[in-house]
Amino acid sequence: MPKISRRVTLRIYPTAKQAARLESVSERHRILYNAALEHRITAYRRAGVTITKGEQEKQVTLIRAEDPDYGALNAQSLQVTLDRLHKAFKGFFGRVKRGEKAGFPRFKSRSRWKGFGFKSHGDGWKLFAGEFEEGGKQKRSGRIRITGVGLVRVRGRARLPGRPKTCDLTKQNGKWYASVVLECEPHREHGEGACAFDWGIDTFLTIATDTGRLIEVDNPRHDRSAEKKTTELRRTLARKKRGSKSRAKAKAELVRHLEKVANRRHDFLHKQSTRLVGQFGIVATENLEVAKMTRSAKGTVQEPGTNVKQKAGLNRSILDGAPATFVSMVSSKAEEAGAKYIEAKTRELAPTQRCHACWKKPSQRKQLSDRVHSCEHCGATCGRDENAALVLMRWVREELDVAGPAGDRAGAGEAAREGGQTAETPGRAA
Ligand SMILES: [Zn+2]
């Protein structure tokens, strides 16, 4: 089986001394980044010369030989910083080429600088997972050794499901994190049978299975329940005087709250995606064009959107449920487990429009506010999300020849298929 990469982010707990060293290493990386950016700009302006990453790497080697501050830093890690700049330029030129809003790479102020990274395990950093011996004593938490910083405590035992490859050290809201990429053997187990899920706002998941079962998973609406508090905290913050101590305190409280909300949501998505892959061998859904769904509300200057306010609320909910994150979790877990994950093309299949029973589309487009599917052709009635899940499940059968009343392929969405699917979902069709 092919190896897979996985990113694990660990909170690290430097002592005051170590934190000061982390800051100073990070600061030198920031200075290097800005200097390398300036170097590229001036070379281009003065001589029309484009400086490459390779040339800058050579210069850094010279700098390291002369400047002990830089000589003390890990060479590969400095390359990582140059590489970040290189990628920023690549992104910029790519956007220019595609005629998008370009955004020239910018100088990094202290507040915009996130940290630094390492290329390979054992070169500048080393992670010790699980039980750890220090001064003859058994320590129960993991440690990470960082060149120029020391041996830093890691949250928990840092059990790792693979071999560490690269590491990024970042500071967020005053806390340090080690984001480690692991190479691991896929070992997840998958279940049997097929399912198709529709993602919704009222119900997080509506799952149709190949055995005709229908499973609903409620949306926890973490943000919704925490929204009151968010609003409260934002209001408190807005009342505080700029630059005051109490403002800083209020801001910290808001950040902590938002972090908590995001973590809870992340946990929920992880649990649900794990469960789905654990229960089924084939998992299908439609290709969510989330970016488009959320972008469309405001419209453009030429063509302002309608119902902006309602849609903005909907967009919020779409983001609350974080379908894109969820879908990527499902697909990577399926890959790990050797299960199959497939996406239907939303435009062609139109699972929210099409009827699961007769495969026909309504003469008038269903609106998002229509919560019930009621087919004008065959009379089938069920919930909107349920219909979408059933359409997707039927599509899976045909796509993969999953056992069931398959064989009669739906031709271009026109072939009437009364009987077959209605029998599969007793009580669902009128
Ligand atoms: Zn129908």
The gap from C-alpha 49 to its chain's centroid, in whole angstroms, comes to 38
Span from the CA of 368 to the centroid of ligand 1 (angstroms): 18
Span from the CA of 430 to the centroid of ligand 1 (angstroms): 10
Instruction: Write the CA distances from 231 to 187, 227, 228, integer angstroms.
Output: 43, 6, 5
Span from the CA of 381 to the centroid of ligand 1 (angstroms): 8
**Is-contact 131 138, C-beta < 8 A?**
yes
Span from the CA of 281 to the centroid of ligand 1 (angstroms): 29
pLDDT value, residue 421: 33
Span from the CA of 352 to the centroid of ligand 1 (angstroms): 12
Span from the CA of 25 to the centroid of ligand 1 (angstroms): 65
Rg for the chain, CA atoms, rounded: 27
Span from the CA of 359 to the centroid of ligand 1 (angstroms): 6
pLDDT value, residue 423: 31
Tokens for 301, please give them.
């200057």
pLDDT value, residue 410: 37
Q: Which residues surround ligand 1, an ion (CB under 5 A)?
A: 355, 357-358, 375, 377-378, 380
pLDDT value, residue 8: 84
pLDDT value, residue 184: 79
Span from the CA of 296 to the centroid of ligand 1 (angstroms): 30
pLDDT value, residue 422: 31
pLDDT value, residue 428: 35
Tokens for 122, please give them.
């054992």
Over its length of 430 residues, how does the chain's per-residue pLDDT go in tens digits? 567 788 888 899 999 999 999 999 999 999 999 999 999 998 888 888 888 889 999 999 999 999 988 998 999 999 999 999 999 999 998 888 888 887 889 999 998 899 999 999 999 999 987 665 666 666 667 889 999 899 999 886 666 778 899 999 999 888 999 999 988 776 778 899 999 999 876 688 999 999 989 999 987 766 566 777 888 898 999 999 988 999 989 988 988 888 888 788 888 888 999 999 999 999 999 887 644 454 444 443 334 444 555 545 544 554 555 677 888 899 988 988 889 999 998 888 889 899 999 999 999 888 777 889 999 999 999 999 999 999 999 999 988 877 654 333 333 333 333 323 333 333 333 3
Question: How far apart, in whole angstroms, are the C-alpha atoms of residue 193 and residue 62?
Answer: 61
**Residue 35 neighbours by CB distance under 10 Å:** 16
Q: Phi/psi of residue 429, each to 5°?
A: -100, 145
Q: Phi/psi of residue 14, each to 5°?
A: -70, 150
Span from the CA of 422 to the centroid of ligand 1 (angstroms): 10
Span from the CA of 370 to the centroid of ligand 1 (angstroms): 16
